[in-house]
Amino acid sequence: MGQLLGKVALITGASRGIGKAIAQKYALEGAKVAFTYLSSEEKARAFEEELKAAGVEAKGYKSNAGDYAQAEELIANIVKDFGGLDIIVNNAGITRDNLLMRMSEEQFDEVIATNLKSVFNTTKGALRTFLKARKGSIINVGSVVGVNGNAGQANYAASKAGIYGFTKSVAKELGSRNIRSNAIAPGFIATEMTEVLGEDVVADWIKGIPLQRPGQAEEVADLCVFLGSDRSAYITGQVINICGGMSM
């Protein structure tokens, strides 16, 4: 407990799934929690109330992760509302799966904007704040398919691979200012995103996982607590798999 005491964290896409679990663990560890959502208005409001009722300084912001101007406004509002910003977890993400033969330009662009451009948007938006404070931790949520590829997910895999190049470049540019940038690569995690997959698809995935089960959002959140905390002060520019051994 208290690993993130007093730190202000932004978690994008935290109305449900992995983002929500991260926000919950961050709150438990003493962080002040700013989070975003896009369409799950009711869930986001209820979550904000739940955190506040537990005595956590928290606020949910409706903000489209893929929109540069909205990200700029978001960061400015967080700094105004919370008095600073220490950690960004770029978690918001979507899938628009289709075989390349059938994939539309819109399906490609939507995934790149939400999953990849979003990471540029918030990082740029927070840069001045991080530089002034001479500290900051950026955690970008990738996926094992960003390294391995996956049939039917050329758009998604490209967006996640792009995150890794961005993460490492930022680590090289900003390491001298004590700003860290890391990515995590979850494997198969049980959330609404994976709920839509058929039983046979899930069984196939599980066969390829040495730990023989899907991961839990809370397990991913634990890694994000570590990367946001000062316990990981000497870790930057890394892509850390959290996948039950699926990818080695």
Ligand X SMILES: NC(=O)c1ccc[n+]([C@@H]2O[C@H](COP(=O)([O-])OP(=O)(O)OC[C@H]3O[C@@H](n4cnc5c(N)ncnc54)[C@H](OP(=O)(O)O)[C@@H]3O)[C@@H](O)[C@H]2O)c1
Q: Hey, which residues are catalytic here?
A: 156
Q: Please name the amino acid found at residue 208.
A: G
How many Cβ atoms sit within 10 Å of the Cβ of residue 106?
A: 9
Contact 175, 237 (CB under 8 A): yes
User: What gap in Å lies between CA 184 and CA 230, rounded to an integer?
Assistant: 17
Minimal distance, residue 141 CB to ligand X, in Å: 4
Minimal distance, residue 16 CB to ligand X, in Å: 5
Query: Can you spell out the DSSP letters for 181-205?
Result: EEEEEE-SB-SHHHHTS-HHHHHHH
User: What gap in Å lies between CA 164 and CA 184, rounded to an integer?
Assistant: 9
Residue 136 vs 244, nearer CB to ligand X: 244
Residue 3 vs 91, nearer CB to ligand X: 91
Q: Please name the amino acid found at residue 162.
A: G
Residue 112 vs 193, nearer CB to ligand X: 193
Residue 133 vs 147, nearer CB to ligand X: 147
Helices (H), 83-117: 105-111
Minimal distance, residue 128 CB to ligand X, in Å: 22
What is the binding site for ligand X (CB under 6 A)? 12-19, 36-40, 64-66, 91-94, 114, 141, 143, 186, 188-189, 191-194
Minimal distance, residue 117 CB to ligand X, in Å: 10
What backbone torsions phi and psi does residue 34 show, to the nearest 5 degrees? -105, 130
- At residue 191, the 3 state secondary structure works out as coil
